[in-house]
Structure 1
Amino acid sequence: MSSKQNKKSSQWTSGSNRNFKLVHQSLTISEINFKKQTIIGSTELTVLPFTNTGKLWRLPLNCKQCRILRVTVNGSHKANNSYVDPTLSICPPETKKRNLEYYDTCHYDAIQSCDSDCSSGAGELVIKIPKAAYDSLGAFVLFENKPLKVMVEFSLEQPKGGVQFVIPPGSASDSPHLHAFSYGLENASRLWFPCVDSYTEPCHWTLYFTVPAHMMAISCGDLTEQLLSADGKKKTFHYTLNVPTAAPCIAFVIGSFEVYPDPVMQEVTHFCLPGLLPILKNTVQFVHEVFGFFEELLSTRFPHSSYKLVFVDQTYQDTSSYSTLTICNTNLLHSNRVIDQVTVTRRLLTRAIAQQYFGCYLLPQLWNDWWLPCGIAGFITGLFCRKISGSTEYQHWVMEEVQRVCQYESEHTLPPLCGTLQVTSASSSSSGPRASIHPHLVSGRELAVLMSKAHLILRSIQLKIGHDLLMQVFHKQLTLASSASQSSDFAHWHNLIISTAGLMKSIQTVSGKDLSHFMEQWVCRNGVPRFHVSFSYMRKKNYVELRLKQDLPRGYSKFVGPMTVVVQEFDGHFSHTIQVEDISTTHELPCHSKIRKSKKRKVPLSHGEEVDIDVSSLDMEVPVLWLRVDPEFQWLRQLSMEQPDTLWHSMLKYERDAVAQVEAIEALEEFPSSTSRDLLRESILNTQFYYKVRVQAAHSLAKLITDTASSGGSPGFLVSVFQKLYGSQAHLTIVRYNDFSDIAAYFVQKAIVQSVAGVRNMHNQCPKEVLSFLWDLFKYSDNQINKYSDGYYFSTLVDSLALTVTPKVAVVPTPLGLDVAKIPVAIMTSESQAILQEIVQGLNIEKVIPSYKHSITASCLAGLRVLQKNGHLPTDSSLFREYASKDNFVEVRLAALKALVDIVQAEHSEGDMNFLLDIVENDIPAVRLWVLQMLASNPPFTRKTESKLNTLTLVERMWSLICVKFSHDSRSRNAAVDVYSALYGRLTPTCLPQGLGIVIDLKEKVARSSLASPALVCTRPTLSSPPLHSRCTVLCVCSQSPKTLISATDDTRPKTISPTPPVSGLLQKELLNSTPSPVIPQIKMEPMDTSPGAAITSGGSTSTGSASVKSLSLKIPTSHLKRPLLPYTHEGGEFPTPSPELGPSGAPSEGSLSPYPSKHKKRKSEHKHKKKNKHKQKHKHRS
């Protein structure tokens, strides 16, 4: 290697701690055994040591759950190795701590210690290069910089993650449905072969897979050859990947598949399991359009010469993208008779292809830059969906994504997308700022919201600099990457890596705009602004006074920047840009229209159309028809708008923007009136409206009818809408034959049915005419002439039946509110019997004629659970357990498991909870992840509630899941952490021993470090008498509030508690008579007299005699905590037991607990004087 090339290689490595460069890696899977679920293979890494660091003696690699058989260097030199995986047990087994604060620290340290980008020499597997390997290279190895070839032979036996073996029950070894594939979250290739598992270490690849002759191997790169063994029993597939690719982008699929070359693009090939080829052809018929759109949009050809789309079963997620390969779930396939699945599948497959450009080809530099390729892929996916579905669908999708992010931010706290905008390298990440996002440390729900936020940020950048300029930025990045991938000099491969700082630099170069402030506000900070907007018209000066106020939660920064305000006036549509600089601002927007007295006016709207508007119902003194703030969603924000109902009426009726119409419909839910009701009805009937606007109008109309039930609101109002749209011409009460050729009408039809089912009368009961309407739909539903499947429509009917169910039993809470006592009903009502009969009939029909993805069965199971929950059926989980077994289709299993989660939450059933945890521990990854997410969303109990499930056994089982059992599955591990947090919070579970503690007064403003002062230190005494109960806590109570408990055995966080709980008299006496510890505590605990005849406080009352004492409340005056306390230093014996002074009510008077009762008044006056002087000295000291 030349000195110039060597200098460039040194520049390349400045971005990491590695003192070598991985140039090429060869991976061989020589044997795969489905029966034993084992893989035997080897990998050869060609590494180039850097001369400026001397010889390479240690080669750190990433490797988990693999058994290392042998390691050799340069072919013949055996090398020793060491293997340490810190993630096998996150927390030390001997620790007794069970709080998430401690776990998070241990988890982060474990991940960092084996992250090759974060620590010097990081990796689970460390290979020691023998000196003989260098000797064989010659004397001038340091000057010539010759590569080392390291061969690692390994085996993988029954992997817990990384590789999924799909073996249907009862399948033979030659079954066509046997298959296996690799999977993982981001850099998880280490789970199935040794590698440098980092995005910053791309290289060339050669892949060999030897499989049974009736199977095929599908992997990354181009298939160069297939070799059949001499005995004809095995076949070897050889793939070559000449584009530098990182190890996390390598995957494989092995099995018997049907092959379908794309009829339009020869470079694209599709694979599916046997028997699914017809629906595969229907599903992927649009794929060539995606490639054409992206190539035109980015002005760049697809970076690879081939692409493979493989559909398999039991995948972790719907799509997983790797270099030239996408592994998809079989459940995404659909026939041309299915409507509901089409949009979902197309969006997912489009995003998978987008990730081939950004995520598999262009790689993130650090975890702080992970959001960038993820956001760009989501952004260009939305652009394609806008092309095939229209701008209205795209704008509505953007609105839903914004609402999703804002909703999550209001309930939780998202981390920033990027920790810092500074140009940092991987080498500095270990000592620099901690990455705000690490996929192995973030839960799946949070990761999905972060992905939505990322593409919304990219859309905001597009609105700031323009669409064409942003596409030029992307084109520039791809052009540099294309040149680098074709170069044999790996010093140029850094152009394959993108970063946040690099994007900002490219944007400034192309557009001339500096986005530092924008990126700092939206990428490096968390939270979204919340605005409350109102306005009034000032007639004298003819302007609109806009008032905008930010709701600023604690810890969040205020929003500063421009915002667009659109005012629709009589004379036109006018846009204003205001500058938001403070929490509360007022802006004057000039009006261009003058008030004229007329009933009808021709008004030009935003889309260019002029319409005649009847303004007789409007306020003629105000020339404003409606007002909108940030209509294009330039910012991620929550917005509440105050307008009169007449303005919302005008917006819904005349505005053609779908988002504006949806906003108006949602606002009209707060204005129940006949006008609002009529306008919503007209919106449903208007076929020119976007179908999702009509769907929203149906739901809002049902709510208005319920709200006006006492004043004449009737479900017949909504039923008449359905009959007018879908009723028979001969008789409107009879529904027409199913005809779903109009897709928009199909979705509106389902929405109206569900809306009618949700109507309630003034007694919150389902009206009888609603049930009659639904029975007619079941009776006359006919799908014989319909070319589309009615499975989803029929499941909607079943769901609507479940919506009509209302509680039939009286629910009486116990005095403590810990449980409920249900008063059963002897006989089911006729309505509930009819609903049950329809559900059972649906289940039986499904076994003979199954619907697509068994959607009807899933709805029937949900309906049965609704009947149980409302007291019409006894709660029984046995049926749901049967449907949750592995023999059923996954969608049916999930519906049954959802019902079981609901039963556990409502009934606190220990058996069902154990059943769910068994599934979590033993089932396939996708199912266990779903169960954990459901338990996190619907926990059976929380830290603030009592439950018989809150036991030490459950704590230990959950702790074992997050620390040990999910060591090779970060998704499930993080989901289990969410469940643990939902049950117990961040602190030690309440069912565990909390140890001795102290209650301190936070108003004293004493830091925890100041607890060493004599007045506040409380040490844990050692009792000579039998130990206290494990849940006993000795408290020193201040009379002020709030109070905080600091556990003596848990040093994590203070815990706010209610006033001191009562302590039993026997326990108190045992404590007072115990022998003190040699370590002298500094809090004087002044005892109560528990002898017979002494007065005590028990639950606020006074009693005499020790026999009647059940609990005792300690009360220590605040004054005793504000002066140095007397330590109890005597060697033995009992504490003095002075007789307390009784007040007028018989209770101990103020200060009666002092050991000097005769000098109480004198002490009190002296204390006041000292307190005053002390306050003066304290104030002087602070000054």
Structure 2
Amino acid sequence: MLDAVVDNFGLSEEDKALEMSVVCSGDMTDDIVDPKDPSRKTVSFTCANAVLPQHIAIAVGPLEHVDLSDLRESDDDEMMGQAAIRATDHFSKTYISYPFTSYKIVFVDDLVPEIAHAASLTLCSNSLLYPEDVLDPLLPVTRKLVHALAFQWMGINVIPKTSQDWWVIYALSYFMSDDFMEQLCGRNEHRFRMKQMADRVVELDVNRPSLQVLGDYLGVDPSEIEFMELKAPLVMFILNQKIKRMAKMGVTKIIYKVLLQAKTGRLQNGAISTEDFIQIVDKYLESKPIPDFWRQWVYGAGCPHFYVTQRFNKKKSVIEFAVKQTQGDRNELESRAEDLDPKTFLKDLNEQKSGMSKKKRTRVFTGAMTVTVHEADGTPYDHIIPIHDALTRFDAPYNTKYTRLKRNRRQKERAAAAQGIDLNGDGELPDEIPLYCLGDVLDTEKEIQEWNFDEWTKEEEEQMANEQYEWIRVDADFEWICKISFSQPLWMMVAQLQQDPDVVAQAEALRNLSDQQPSKLISTYLTRTVMDRRYFHGIRTMATEALAKCAIPRIDDVDLDWVGLYHLEKTFQELFCLPGSHMFNDNSHNEFSDCHYVAALLAALAQQLAYKDSSTISFDFDEDEQDEIDFQRDALNEIERHRRLDEWIPSYQNIVTVTALQCQCLLMENGIIPRKMLDFLQYAKPGAAESVRLKAMECLIDLGMMKHPAILRYLIFTLAYDPSPYIREQLYYLIGRGLARIAIGDKKEEPSNQIFGGLIIEQDTSTDSRAAMIERTQTLEGAIKALRTELGSNKVFEEQMRNALTSPMPSLKEWVRLLDICGLVFEPKNSLGVMLKLPLSWKVQHQGKGKMRFYRSPPYRQKPLSKIKQEQAPLLQQKAAEKRRRPSLADEPNKRQHLAHSAAPKANGIPSLKISLKAGSGSAHSKPLQGTYTKPLTGTYPKPFKSTYSKLCNIGSWRQDGEA
């Protein structure tokens, strides 16, 4: 390791004095200091296992060493040996032993990806580190680090055979990490996260390739890897849910078999393909293959959408189900024309450029779906509905004979809760006590009046008493990645929210409640969900978000009187405020940091200032307007105060400053405050924190200031010359967003008839301009055409891109990106224009007394004196070859004879000068001469004449007698 050239990195004297350490894949064998120069040393490493070249990494720097084995209890040392952390212990016990002899995690600055995987080594960005008093990044960072460890087994030790097999690696490695996270954080957190991921996949998996084909395009855009990391673990989760009924171990046993085959050599070089994995699964299931599963979720694309309806047939005593799948309908397959999104403009462009094949969605998803019916006596009955067609009908038998058993259900449930029976546990409950334990808070008469709650009417209670079942849940086993639309009465949704112990069922009930029309009754049960601490925290958060939809004055003809807002304020006071205290809390004695909380309050304050409700436009002016002005001034001062305070006492990753800049940008976009570039330029300069610099430049781009020459020049200069690769990487996508905004143009509202009270404003626009705007905002070709029109002739952009391409800082990948930007803005040409000076004609003038004046004069020569014939081409090539070599004196006569074959040379071989003098070519005092003067250049001539003759010979304007 060379330590004598650290000056090139701009290190301070204090940094130079630090001891440099080397961390590399494998195990260190030698660390030898150069005896002649103590600042140099040689460090050698060896890796016993065969790994890919891209899995070798090295880190050099003043690193601080932390031994993770010190964090483990001493009782496990003897059993686990050199294993370091709890996750390593779990993987080694559950699967096979760690494939390497050691494991290192190195946190470094300016790392472009958050995590880089290598053999026995993981490079992580410093942005993943957080202090002990910050709680918000706890779960996501823990999951990323656990997955980095799992990737050593499934990703470094076992590798994909082809790029289309990457989904196997991501699916299995994330299943390993999620399995450990379930033990670490609990089953509720695991299932709730899976439910959120499933909803996100349904939203994103539109016009995308299949999971297998997606592996070929992981390098197109970072969003492709993010989608792979989102869907692949979820596919493995539902596979585990499906095969757990057939085999107890589930996917865990399959991962063990994959790792074992890699260790024993059955997987050549540890490379696994999709076919290998399917064969291992089918062999494990023992003649119970699931080909439809692979066809739909691995080789196919898209997610199904089920519309489920039910009807109780009293005569047959069955529940009739109809399941309609809209995945294959033509209306679903035809994508609606949507406006281009500046945030995904580069991704769409790169996907089109790479030729990404967008696989058609699977027309019909088939398989078994579990429907659970909670009948009148509170007993759940599972029914399996086989889905084979777009429309499936199924009759589920009804089992309860005595529907009157639930008349006193509420009294029994309250009695069970009073007895302290744990109804949320995994143990079995007495048959006479139905499951009920959540949401039974704030139900006394005094509390109902204090909280302004609403209760069921007598008519609704009678309908509830006459129902044959409590609620119905579709896909109770969570074996589908789908969207389910199932309409139930409101009391059934509330029953599912309060009585079903599964956190996924509670999330589905909350989603259905939030989709209903807001009412005082819905706000009541959402408030009780928030106030019941026995609910999972994610469910309480979802209930709070749904409660905000009830914070409206009225809907249709129903007066809500801002009941949702009242419940939110009352909940906040009850949970976080001291009763009877009017003193503010300065948060100086908090045990944990509240920077994320303060940032959320600032963002909410800015959104409130920027909110404009067109339905409340009024022409009445009173003292309320002054109150709004005072509120706006106080809010702006509060945002500015926290921004300045964060400069003196920085928060975690300067999140308060980042949020304050975002608030200023939002207010400027909505015209609340004037636009000022200097408010962001002071934070965009080098020296500020990376997160603050990027947010400042993002705000400049979002405000449309990229068209300003100075801003454009600074952004491109930073993109090319900033020393931080992380800044350059993130700025590339920000500039792409700015170019997309210029290409798409300012989004204008659709011209329509606007109604303000009784005033109707009619607007009209030409068909051509509307068609041009649609082409620009909805098609990539139209957007690129508009971008070239806007920036194609911009000299500042052209000059800065030329300078950027000559910068030594960008890597090869970044240099290609710069060329892509040039190809996006400028029309590509396959020709290079060369500028040559046109030759001038030579003229001669007789000035008298034997003096001749030779000079160049217009017009320019634009055509050759004679056309080059085809038969002369070989001759000209031979002449060019002779000119390239220096001719000898012996070759000269032959050359002259060849060039002037039509004229016989003079006897003495001396050329003569032939000049044609016409009248008026001389001076004003000279007598005009006519005829031709020819004389060989022999004898004595004046010196200037000889010099002029020599020049004529050099430029080729002389000729021998008889030449044409």
Q: 1:441 Cα deviation (Å)?
A: 4.0
1:223 aligns with 2:28: yes
Report the equivalent of 2:175.
Answer: 379
Q: 1:365 Cα deviation (Å)?
A: 0.9
Report the equivalent of 2:89.
Answer: 292
1:575 aligns with 2:375: no
1:515 aligns with 2:322: no
**How far apart are the structure 2 equivalents of 1:245 and 1:267?**
32
Q: What letter corresponds to residue 416 of structure 1 in structure 2?
A: S
Report the equivalent of 2:592.
Answer: 788
Q: What letter corresponds to residue 603 of structure 2 in structure 1?
A: D
Instruction: Please point out which of 714, 718, 729 is paired with 2:579.
Output: 729
1:242 aligns with 2:48: yes
Measured against aligned partners, the alpha-carbon deviations of 1:787-827 in whole angstroms (never above 9, x if no partner) come to 1112222222212211221357999xxxxxxxxxxxxx999
Where do 1:407-426 residues align within 5 Å? 407-410=203-206, 413-419=207-213
Report the equivalent of 2:570.
Answer: 720
Report the equivalent of 1:104.
Answer: none
**How far apart are the structure 1 equivalents of 2:524 and 2:65?**
55
**How far apart are the structure 2 equivalents of 1:315 and 1:544?**
58
**How far apart are the structure 1 equivalents of 2:524 and 2:5?**
67
Contact 2:56-2:119 at 8 Å conserved across structures: yes
**How far apart are the structure 1 equivalents of 2:4 and 2:218?**
28
1:497 aligns with 2:271: yes
Measured against aligned partners, the alpha-carbon deviations of 1:927-962 in whole angstroms (never above 9, x if no partner) come to 343344456678414352487883325898999999
**How far apart are the structure 2 equivalents of 1:358 and 1:471?**
13
Measured against aligned partners, the alpha-carbon deviations of 1:989-1020 in whole angstroms (never above 9, x if no partner) come to 8x9699xxxxxxxxxxxxxxxxxxxxxxxxxx
Report the equivalent of 2:684.
Answer: 884
Q: More helix per residue: 1 or 2? A: 2
Q: 1:406 Cα deviation (Å)?
A: 1.7
Report the equivalent of 2:644.
Answer: 844
Q: 1:35 Cα deviation (Å)?
A: 4.6
- CA gap of 1:707–1:980, structure 2 versus 1, over 3 A, is farther
Contact 1:566-1:574 at 8 Å conserved across structures: yes
1:929 aligns with 2:722: no
Where do 1:1089-1104 residues align within 5 Å? none
Q: What letter corresponds to residue 875 of structure 1 in structure 2?
A: R
Where do 1:319-330 residues align within 5 Å? 319-330=115-126
Instruction: Please point out which of 146, 152, 173 is paired with 1:350.
Output: 146
Where do 1:954-1033 residues align within 5 Å? 968=811
**How far apart are the structure 2 equivalents of 1:396 and 1:936?**
35
Report the equivalent of 1:309.
Answer: 105
**How far apart are the structure 2 equivalents of 1:785 and 1:826?**
37
Report the equivalent of 1:898.
Answer: 698
- CA gap of 1:243–1:643, structure 2 versus 1, over 3 A, is same
Measured against aligned partners, the alpha-carbon deviations of 1:837-895 in whole angstroms (never above 9, x if no partner) come to 11111111112211111111111111112221222211123222221233111222233
Contact 1:808-1:870 at 8 Å conserved across structures: no
Measured against aligned partners, the alpha-carbon deviations of 1:83-133 in whole angstroms (never above 9, x if no partner) come to xxxxxxxxxxxxxxxxxxxxxxxxxxxxxxxxxxxxxxxxxxxxxxxxxxx
Measured against aligned partners, the alpha-carbon deviations of 1:1120-1164 in whole angstroms (never above 9, x if no partner) come to xxxxxxxxxxxxxxxxxxxxxxxxxxxxxxxxxxxxxxxxxxxxx
Report the equivalent of 1:537.
Answer: 312
- CA gap of 1:213–1:391, structure 2 versus 1, over 3 A, is closer
**How far apart are the structure 2 equivalents of 1:32 and 1:635?**
60
- CA gap of 1:405–1:935, structure 2 versus 1, over 3 A, is farther
State TM-score, norm by structure 1.
Answer: 0.54
Report the equivalent of 1:1089.
Answer: none
**How far apart are the structure 1 equivalents of 2:399 and 2:613?**
61
Report the equivalent of 2:934.
Answer: none
Where do 1:400-549 residues align within 5 Å? 400-410=196-206, 413-419=207-213, 436-438=214-216, 441-466=219-244, 468-484=249-265, 494-512=268-286, 513-549=288-324
**How far apart are the structure 2 equivalents of 1:34 and 1:921?**
22
- CA gap of 1:959–1:417, structure 2 versus 1, over 3 A, is farther
- Report the 3-state secondary structure (helix = DSSP H, G, I; strand = E; otherwise coil) of the residue aligned with 1:534: strand
**How far apart are the structure 2 equivalents of 1:612 and 1:259?**
53
**How far apart are the structure 2 equivalents of 1:972 and 1:577?**
57
**How far apart are the structure 1 equivalents of 2:713 and 2:694?**
17
Report the equivalent of 2:765.
Answer: none
- CA gap of 1:515–1:31, structure 2 versus 1, over 3 A, is farther
- CA gap of 1:227–1:355, structure 2 versus 1, over 3 A, is same
Measured against aligned partners, the alpha-carbon deviations of 1:396-438 in whole angstroms (never above 9, x if no partner) come to 110121122221113xx3222225xxxxxxxxxxxxxxxx523
Q: What letter corresponds to residue 60 of structure 2 in structure 1?
A: I
Where do 1:807-886 residues align within 5 Å? 807=611, 829-886=629-686
- CA gap of 1:254–1:701, structure 2 versus 1, over 3 A, is same
Range moving further from structure 2, 631-640 or 448-457: 631-640
**How far apart are the structure 2 equivalents of 1:406 and 1:664?**
18
Q: 1:353 Cα deviation (Å)?
A: 0.2
Contact 2:470-2:492 at 8 Å conserved across structures: yes
Measured against aligned partners, the alpha-carbon deviations of 1:655-691 in whole angstroms (never above 9, x if no partner) come to 2222222222222222311110100110110010111
**How far apart are the structure 2 equivalents of 1:688 and 1:913?**
54
Q: 1:589 Cα deviation (Å)?
A: 1.8
Which runs of no fewer than 5 residues in structure 2 stay unpaired? Answer: 75-82, 334-359, 414-422, 437-455, 616-624, 745-774, 778-782, 830-964
**How far apart are the structure 1 equivalents of 2:292 and 2:260?**
28
Q: 1:439 Cα deviation (Å)?
A: 5.1
**How far apart are the structure 2 equivalents of 1:926 and 1:345?**
19
Range moving further from structure 2, 493-502 or 858-867: 493-502
Q: What letter corresponds to residue 929 of structure 1 in structure 2?
A: E
- CA gap of 1:606–1:237, structure 2 versus 1, over 3 A, is closer
Contact 2:21-2:60 at 8 Å conserved across structures: yes
Q: What letter corresponds to residue 663 of structure 1 in structure 2?
A: E
Measured against aligned partners, the alpha-carbon deviations of 1:215-248 in whole angstroms (never above 9, x if no partner) come to 1211100111210001211111111101011111
Q: 1:721 Cα deviation (Å)?
A: 1.1
Q: What letter corresponds to residue 221 of structure 1 in structure 2?
A: G
1:635 aligns with 2:484: no
1:561 aligns with 2:367: yes
Report the equivalent of 2:528.
Answer: 682
Q: More strand per residue: 1 or 2? A: 1
- Structural RMSD (CA): 3.8
Contact 1:668-1:676 at 8 Å conserved across structures: yes
**How far apart are the structure 2 equivalents of 1:462 and 1:248?**
32
1:591 aligns with 2:398: yes
Contact 2:218-2:224 at 8 Å conserved across structures: no
**How far apart are the structure 1 equivalents of 2:822 and 2:528?**
49
- Report the 3-state secondary structure (helix = DSSP H, G, I; strand = E; otherwise coil) of the residue aligned with 1:309: strand
- CA gap of 1:717–1:214, structure 2 versus 1, over 3 A, is closer
